[in-house]
Chains A and B, each alone.
Chain A
Amino acid sequence: MVATLRFTLWLAVAVVAAAVLGWLFRAVLTRIAPANAARLLRSAPLSASFGMAVIVFYLLVAILAPTIAPFGEREVVGAQFMPASSEFLLGTDNLGRDMFSRLIFGVRNTVSIAFITTALAFAVGAVLGLLAATVSGWIDQLLSRVVDVLMAIPALIFQLLLLTIVGTSIINMILVIALIDSTRVFRLARAVAMNIVVMDYIEAAKLRGEGLWRLIIREIMPNAAAPLVAEFGLRFCFVFLSISALSFLGLGIQPPTADLGSMVRDNATLITFGEVTPLLPAGAIALLTVAVNFVVDWMLHRASGLKE
């Protein structure tokens, strides 16, 4: 009973803190941003400004990781599984490395890899999808059927297969995950663009004699942006999971490089002892995911022109 009450209390405190953080962040941003951006930011709901605050925080952590972290990423600094103390803020892990420093480096590695992968998947998938819908005919057929074949193979198995063929490295992992994720983006982009290419303004642009590239980038892309942006938020989270899964199987980010996914696994034993430390990397992923989706929701809301 008391535990439930305390949990509820903490939850309420967390929500209020998040709202206050969002409000403060928005207040600061509107103060320092140029007039145009400030007006836009003022319309952001608290959830979105909270999300932006969290994202900025992660970015800072990722960029400044070596400065913030008290110890090195791979440095063994104490005994195994030491409890939290003033020296080791979150204790040490299964090999005696500082958990806090590992967490900071983990954010840097995982977030940047996930972001690059998602961006790559989107660049390839969206451009090809829009191209297929615009040109139609045999190019569309060819691309769509290739994508069908790729999508027919279970993603994880396919990733394992490709990584076994090309060899394990971070670059290869990024390319492989991006390739497989881009098929999903392709599908979406093509479906969305199909509804746009039949509009009169596209016909008008074609009759004007516009080239294919301009047609796709200037005329179609802005109108397809809303669903693509929403998908980006979702995809970003899935990529996290993919990286963690691959790391777990020993094909992703290789130890001793810090990675949020494998940190959970490495320290899982501690959960048995009632310690929350192994959940912190998972929490870090969850927080970023939520933050990204808050921002994406807002952008989607704006882009779709929904009022109230």
Chain B
Amino acid sequence: MTEAASNKPVLLTIRGLRIEGRSDEKWNEIVKGVDLSLHRGEVLGLIGESGAGKSTLGLAAMGFTRDGCRISGGSIDFDGIDLLTAPEPVRRGLRGKRIAYVAQSAAASFNPAHRLIDQYSEGPVQHGVMSKAEAQRDAMELYRRMRLPNPDEIGFRYPHQVSGGQLQRAMTAMAMACRPDLIIFDEPTTALDVTTQIEVLSAIRDIVAQFDTAAIYITHDLAVVAQMADRIKVLLHGEEVEEADTRTMLSAPREDYTKSLWAVRSFERGAQPALPAADVPVVEMRNIVAAYGPVPVLHNVSFEIHRRRTVAVVGESGSGKSTAARVITGLLPPSSGSVLFEGQPLPADYRQRSKDQLRQAQMIYQMADTALNPKHRIREIIGRPVHFYLGKSGKALTERVRELLHLIELEPDKFIDRLPSELSGGQKQRIGIARALAAEPRFIICDEVTSALDQLVAEGILRLLDRLQTEFDLAYMFITHDLATVKAIADEVVVMKDGRVVEQGPKAEMFAPPHDPYTELLLSSVPEMDPDWLDRLLAERAAGRAGGTVQASER
């Protein structure tokens, strides 16, 4: 495919592109002179951590910059049209018609007030490519090709009536509406579960191949890009690190930075010594049944978490894993069953728990952005639990906050008076960890703490959590849908589906066959770095193996 593609004419050429963004009253360079060329029908993977400028570069390929950004140098040539000097109407004529864009979060990008098919038709009708009726017929055809269920009917639903994975496919179909020459995919599967991700990936790949569309595929997930791209370009701080075709890049990366990206998945927590026979679990869920109003969410869920142990609770969205955490914290009192803390039952509602009971169980959230009060300084965010639970104030309080900042490897003098908005994603998550530690708890719930982070940053967080666990004798409940994270940090695994525990046991047993069919589906859905992985998996699924018989529950 690669050789075939490179024989085709060049579609997009970017030379020495420089883009600046305005912050703190001055212009900072975000993209620092990047070259890029793309042939017709070729898929180029752009990878790098957040802030590397990949999305900015992707948007610039449409001749577009976000508010507060400007293109300060270089050239962008799309099929003979200079996108930088072309007048706005020309550029507008290209967008949606010859260059299309698929955003990361389809749920946030669709207009919730209009039906899918109406949003689909908007582009073709606007550009005068099709009439509305033609566009609707075409939409059904593309929905069928994207393997959406009920393709003739699904378009007449509103965005909130279809699942996340379906929405992402609908958006890809929409980008295809005018049969563009180039599509820019900006992390299209990052927000999806592994099981759903497979479907979206294979649908995208097929449709791009069918229409011979060129694509720029932006992601921070190396295993995903290995499946999708013909060529890979690695970016760091707005500069190109290296570029090569996928197989070469995976087998023989040249630069140290690329090697470090490849090596990320190597962290694995060592085996823990066996538990003493009579060890009382720190937290035990006993036959929990819980419901949101009339909707049952948890059915008879039991598991226990011991001191110095990490229990990973795995499942796709809607499987009830976050609900289990809400039951433990007391936000959702169960309709039957009980939560025990060191053998003692906890009151079901957090409002009835004592200050000490609240202190013992802390929580770290997925989105550090919304978990830290944006108007409080770090001093107050971390200091509040110290003051509230442990009664420290004045100098002792400041001292303790500085100590906690040291623990999470942030320099106290630099960070203590900052606001959350002045921190990077990884730093925010570290502050979230420090806030949990500040209460000096026995037990911490980590709710998808790494899923919003880049792999390098995520690995740093996992190592930190691991170190803190040994240092402070903590028990972790680790909620995640990412099995690579489970492999790295868990001692025991609980697999959940539709509010039930499907399988549970020590990690080593879980990752070795035989599996429950659903576990098999989950495990086999984790992308691997091998570029042939997706083809092989799809072939196996078609043959009814690798969890091919289980239906992922679409929500």
Contact = CB atoms under 8 A, between A and B. Distances in A.
B551 interface: no
B355 interface: yes
Nearest to B23: A307
Interface in A292-308: 305, 307-308
B365 A204 contact: yes
Q: Which bucket holds chain A's interface residue count? A: 10 to 19
Contacts of A209: 350, 353, 355, 358, 388
Interface in B349-383: 350, 353, 355, 358, 363, 365, 367, 370-376
Interface in B309-360: 329-331, 350, 353, 355, 358
B63 to A, nearest CB: 21
A109 interface: no
A308 B23 CA distance: 8
Contacts of A307: 22-23, 68
A204 B431 CA distance: 13
Interface string B421-449: 10000000000000100010000000000
A117 B367 CA distance: 41
A207 B350 contact: yes
A190 to B, nearest CB: 19
B370 A308 contact: no
A206 B363 CA distance: 12
A210 interface: yes
A208 interface: yes
Contacts, number: 48
A63 B375 CA distance: 35
A34 interface: no
A305 B374 CA distance: 10
B441 to A, nearest CB: 11
A210 B372 CA distance: 15
A254 interface: no
B351 to A, nearest CB: 8
A207 B331 contact: yes
B331 A223 contact: no
Contacts of A204: 363, 365, 371, 435
B23 A210 contact: no
A203 interface: yes
A207 B358 contact: yes
Interface in A26-77: none
Contacts of A208: 358, 384-385, 388-389, 439
Query: In the complex, which range does the number of interface residues on chain B fall in?
Result: 20 to 34
A200 B370 contact: yes
Nearest to B436: A204
A149 interface: no
A45 to B, nearest CB: 13
Contacts of A3: none
A206 B439 CA distance: 14
Contacts of B358: 207-209
A219 interface: yes
A256 interface: no
A242 to B, nearest CB: 32
B375 A223 contact: yes
Contacts of A219: 373
A199 interface: yes
Contacts of A305: 374, 421
A200 B331 CA distance: 12
Contacts of A223: 373-375
B388 A199 contact: no
A197 to B, nearest CB: 12
Contacts of B389: 208
A222 interface: yes
Interface in B377-428: 384-385, 388-389, 421
Contacts of B363: 204, 207
A23 to B, nearest CB: 18
A7 interface: no
A210 B388 contact: yes
A204 B375 CA distance: 15
A307 B21 CA distance: 11
Interface string A182-216: 00000000000000000111011111111000000
B152 to A, nearest CB: 37
A300 to B, nearest CB: 15
A101 to B, nearest CB: 46
Nearest to A223: B375
Question: Which of B68, B375, B376 has the most CB atoms of chain A within a 10 A radius of its CB?
Answer: B375
Contact of B371 (A200, A206, A210, A222): A200
B373 A308 contact: no
B367 to A, nearest CB: 7
Given A199-B370, A201-B370, A206-B350, A222 B388 contact: no
Interface in B437-464: 439
Nearest to B380: A218
B350 A308 contact: no
Contacts of B330: 207
Contacts of A308: 22, 68
A186 to B, nearest CB: 22
Contacts of B388: 208-210
B375 A222 contact: yes
Nearest to B447: A200
Contacts of B375: 222-223
A75 B424 CA distance: 66
A209 B355 CA distance: 7
A307 B388 CA distance: 35
Interface string A205-238: 1111110000000010011000000000000000
A205 B435 CA distance: 11
Interface string B148-159: 000000000000
A206 B330 CA distance: 11
A204 B362 CA distance: 9
B385 A201 contact: no
A227 to B, nearest CB: 14
21 contacts: A200-B370, A200-B371, A201-B373, A204-B365, A204-B371, A205-B373, A206-B350, A207-B329, A207-B330, A207-B350, A207-B358, A208-B439, A209-B355, A209-B388, A222-B373, A222-B375, A222-B376, A223-B375, A305-B421, A308-B22, A308-B68
Given A305-B374, A308-B22, 17 more contacts: A200-B371, A201-B371, A201-B373, A204-B363, A204-B365, A204-B371, A205-B373, A208-B358, A208-B385, A208-B388, A209-B353, A209-B355, A209-B358, A210-B388, A223-B375, A307-B22, A307-B68
Interface of B: 22-23, 68, 329-331, 350, 353, 355, 358, 363, 365, 367, 370-376, 384-385, 388-389, 421, 435, 439
